[in-house]
Amino acid sequence: MAPSAVPRIVPDDAMIGNPLKSDKTVSKNYLLDRDLNKAPLKVISASGNYLTLENGRQILDATGGAAVACLGHGNKEVREVMLRQMDEVSYCHSLFFSTNSTDELARELIKGTGDRISKAFIVSSGSEAMEAAMKLARQYFLELPTPEPDRINFIARKHSYHGNTLGALSMSGHVARRALFTPLLLPTTHHISPCNAYRQQLPTQSTSSFVAEKAQELDSKIQALGPKTVIAFVCEPVVGAALGCIPSVPGYLKAMKAVCDKHGALFILDEVMCGMGRTGTLHAWEKEGVVPDIQTIGKGLGGGYAPIAGVLIGAKVVDALSRGTGAFMHGQTYQAHPLSCAAASAVQRIIREQNLLANVREQGAYLEQLLHLHLDSHPNVGNIRGRGLFWGIEFVRDKETKEPFEPSLGVARRVHEVGLGEGFGISVYPGTGSVDGVRGDHVILAPAYNVGRGGVERIVGLMRGIVEVVFGREGGL
């Protein structure tokens, strides 16, 4: 089906305005915001794919926050489920009690893997999920019939992001986010290169050769550390905020898992951002049929209706603990929170019953088509990549050499702020460091799973207008 016309939306500078300027006098703020010198926009309501600000302006939420609001905002069915759960039980301690909502969510999650994963562990954020995954992986080797206590090392990838707590940040290879805390980070986390075909694969290099190169790098790192000292290799199947929706090339996940299996290390996938349907399958690993030993999930799990994330655990790991001490030496106050579990169960049930993954694939293909059609030719659009409803646009100073803009220009931030301006009214997700951890600018588009063709066309039309305002139609800055 031919794409519909995407309107060119290019306001003049007067229309853009300052999206961060409030119409009201701001009273003293008692909350430690992310930026102490700039107040965030205040949202007073949200419905569908739109946020309403205190000045009455509406913002098209084209990313669901941080790829979170997979059903959009204000879903009445989820709301009713949460109200019923509050009438039943809002909280109880998981050390002593369970609830129907907890059991229902665990069953939904495991059945969603086709029983290829054995158990679910429920927490409140992606960072907590990664911390739990790290401790679980370490404990696995201590619970084996012949324990392997020398296994202390993790291998992850450069320019990656796995969370903000110290363990998860140690696992991350994101230079800027690590910088202030480097002396506190674990010396037992190590990093190899990411799988970034746009910036690493040679023009004449085959995909199989590129994959073999990556697998050899992992094997060499394991050999250098000592095969019996490595706990696991950790990666995102489709890298989210750190690199801007860069998918692994075909064969990569299989090859990396094979290296892990060869040396007895675990294979851990971080699908906090790219999983739970975001890329067109419930789990991103389904694309290659590679089942991880441990997997982290979040964001689209609860769709933003309650804070929730989780760890999915393979039978091999569960069996080792069952036959050993019979317990996971980890727990949290809000672990398996009944209200959060009820919200997540409702979200996952809606995705399944309304067959929204098919829509993610269909509208994702349309989004890909329109992005390439309307932005590929712009001289400052270096690369458009992604899968499903998870797409990144990387901006460059020179399209031929792929030279990035200087970080001081704040290109990604500028694209985001122009989008929020009155002439556009759209929120996109900016990111930096996609070249070397410091240089490189990109934005992410991650609309709700129930978006339609009209919504996709509007997003691309606005995105094209923003690019033309920020860079000009002929390029430059």
Q: How confident is the model at residue 477 (pLDDT cuts 50, 70, 90)?
A: confident
- Which of 18-22, 25-29, 285-289 is the least confident region? 18-22
Nearest to 225 by CA among 265, 270, 179, 195: 265
In percent, the amount of the chain with pLDDT more than 70 equals: 94
Q: In the predicted model, what is the mean pLDDT of the chain?
A: 94
Question: Residues 6 or more apart from 336 whose CB is under 8 A from it?
Answer: 94, 98, 99, 102, 122
Segment 239-246 shows an average pLDDT of 96
Say what the pLDDT of residue 16 is. Answer: 44
Answer yes or no: is pLDDT of 7 > 80. no
- pLDDT tens string 204-215: 999 999 999 999
Q: Which of 24-33, 128-137, 174-183, 264-273 has the lowest mean pLDDT?
A: 24-33
Contact 428, 282 (CB under 8 A): no
On the question of pLDDT at 415 being above 50, the answer is yes
* pLDDT higher than threshold 90 for residue 4: no
3-state secondary structure of 440: coil
What φ, ψ does residue 397 adopt, rounded to 5°? -75, -40
More confident residue, 33 or 313: 313
Q: Residue 38's CB: how many other CB atoms inside 10 A? A: 8
Give the bridge partners for 64, in sequence order: none
> What band does 6 get if pLDDT is binned at 50, 70 and 90?
low
Integer Cα distance of 431 and 439 in angstroms? 10
pLDDT digits (tens, 9 = 90+) for 308-317: 999 999 999 9
Cα gap 190→72, rounded to integer Å: 37
Q: Identify any residues that bridge with 267 across adjacent strands, giving them in sequence order.
A: 233
Alpha-carbon distance 85 to 117, whole Å?
27
| Both tokens assigned to 14 | 């007067």
* pLDDT value for 3: 62
Place of tokens 């204000």: 74
* Phi (first) and psi of residue 440, to 5 degrees: 115, 130
Q: Confidence class of residue 13 from pLDDT cuts 50, 70 and 90?
A: very low
Closest CA to 194 of 121, 245, 126: 245
Of residues 392, 389, 131, the one with CA closest to residue 241: 392
pLDDT of 51 reads 98
Q: pLDDT for 335-359, tens place per residue?
A: 999 999 999 999 999 999 999 999 9
Interval 248-257 mean pLDDT: 98
State pTM to two decimals. Answer: 0.94
Average pLDDT of the residues in 143-154: 98
Give CA separation, 402 vs 173, 238, 361, 432, 438, in Å. 22, 21, 29, 15, 15
The whole-angstrom separation of Cα 431 and Cα 204 is: 29
pLDDT at 24 over 70: no
CA dist 4 and 208 (Å) reads 37
Q: Which among 78, 68, 145, 128 is positioned nearest to 323, based on CA atoms?
A: 145
Scanning the structure block, which residue is given the tokens 């919504």? 455
Q: 356-375 vs 338-353: helix axis angle to the nearest 10?
A: 80
Lowest mean pLDDT among 40-44, 89-93, 124-128, 471-475: 471-475
